[in-house]
Amino acid sequence: MRALSIVGARPQFMKLAPLSRAFSAAGITHTILHTGQHYDHSMSDVFFDELKIPRPDINLAVGSGSHGAQTAQMLEGVEKVLLSQNIDCVVVYGDTNSTIAGALAAVKLHTPVAHVEAGLRSFNRAMPEEINRIATDHVSDVLLAPTHTAMKHLSNEGLASRSHFTGDVMLDTVLFNRKLADSSRILDKLGIAGQGGYALATVHRAENTDSAERLKGVLGGLEKVGARIPVFFPIHPRTRKCMSDIQFEFGADSNVNLIDPLGYLDLLELAASAQLILTDSGGLQKEAYFLEVPCVTMRDETEWTETIESGANKLAGAIAEKIESCADEMIGSKVAYDPVHFGAGNAAELIAECVVNLQ
């Protein structure tokens, strides 16, 4: 079995890491293609280094661009690779432009496609990720679902016969790296080792960054939380640009500390020791739950409804006062991870089995 993994954006590298180990244990010949969607050292290389993922065999170096241009270049690049190599299965991850480009190029060449993190739905079609998810699920041959809710969505769309519940590969990654993250010096670097509570915040969703009103609401919310506990905010390059476009600056006495994007181990350590996580990222909502840290999600809906049902997460939208009141409610609340939701941390092994069975 020769599998080609297609990745390109930060959250995909964390999903690839456990699969790269599981594929090798299952005797799968594994090639890694990086589309180049994320290219900054802090958005890409650092994850390959820290998570000990083999260097990509191929890098399309597509870089930034409009959705159409970026996806089209990837589609063309992946097709060329598939035409020149013998690949039995293409594996795509999550919901980015790299995911849909990889899936579409492969299915048109009749190469079976396995979709890791299938079946997620926000039911918000204004999100580029929602379109990528729906389209990828419908063209893929094997749908690997991280939750039972995802299985239900796939079944509702007539895709049950291609779907498998595997649990979430991001849980595999958290469990594997939790001990290693103890060696991170991030708390010392930020001067907060042993210093009581702080909140970790991230913001990068287009729905928040590309609307001045929403972005002001979210950043205003962080400022309000900062009045209670210090907020550490590793900032995505696009968010930094959007903040400067609307000329937003945190007040001089605000306790919101902007820092550069973090590597995986530093982020894991900072998240695990936080009193509260404020985010619009799908991945961090789950990591908060796995690490049993309460979370406030600065979105109107979430694909990860299990985190809400378990009381670990609260939706605050992009309104500063709502973010503040949700943070007040969540600080100090107890969170306990229930394996019924995202599996037992062996998703990569189960996915490797599904891929081997494609033969």
| Cβ 201 to ligand UD1 shortest distance, Å | 15
Nearer to ligand UD1, 20 or 281 (CB): 281
| Cβ 133 to ligand UD1 shortest distance, Å | 10
- Binding residues for ligand UD1 (CB under 6 A): 9-11, 37-40, 43, 64, 95-97, 128-129, 204, 236-238, 241
Tell me which residue of 278, 320, 309 sits closest to 295, measured CA to CA.
278
Nearer to ligand UD1, 9 or 192 (CB): 9
Nearer to ligand UD1, 15 or 38 (CB): 38
- Alpha carbon dihedral 233, 259, 59, 121, in 10-degree steps, equals 0
Q: Which DSSP category does 57 fall into?
A: S
Angle between the N-to-C axes of helices 10-25 and 169-177, in degrees from 0 to 180, rounded to the nearest 10: 80
Nearer to ligand UD1, 153 or 204 (CB): 204
Q: For residue 241, what are the CA distances in angstroms to 2, 46, 215, 258?
A: 40, 22, 12, 13
| Cβ 102 to ligand UD1 shortest distance, Å | 12
| Cβ 37 to ligand UD1 shortest distance, Å | 4
By the 8 A CB rule, do 285 and 201 touch?
no
Nearer to ligand UD1, 99 or 254 (CB): 99
By the 8 A CB rule, do 136 and 99 touch?
yes
Q: Please tell me the distance from the alpha carbon of residue 267 to that of residue 331, in angstroms, as a whole number.
A: 19
| Cβ 46 to ligand UD1 shortest distance, Å | 11
Is 41 annotated in the active site?
no
Tell me which residue of 105, 8, 15 sits closest to 53, measured CA to CA.
15
Q: Which of 30, 115, 204, 236 is catalytic?
A: 204
Type of residue at 2: R
- Count CB-CB contacts under 10 A for residue 68: 9
| Cβ 296 to ligand UD1 shortest distance, Å | 18
Type of residue at 270: L
Q: For residue 119, what are the CA distances in angstroms to 113, 164, 189, 213?
A: 15, 10, 39, 31
Nearer to ligand UD1, 22 or 169 (CB): 169
Pairing of strands 58-59, 29-34: parallel
Q: Which residues are catalytic?
A: 204
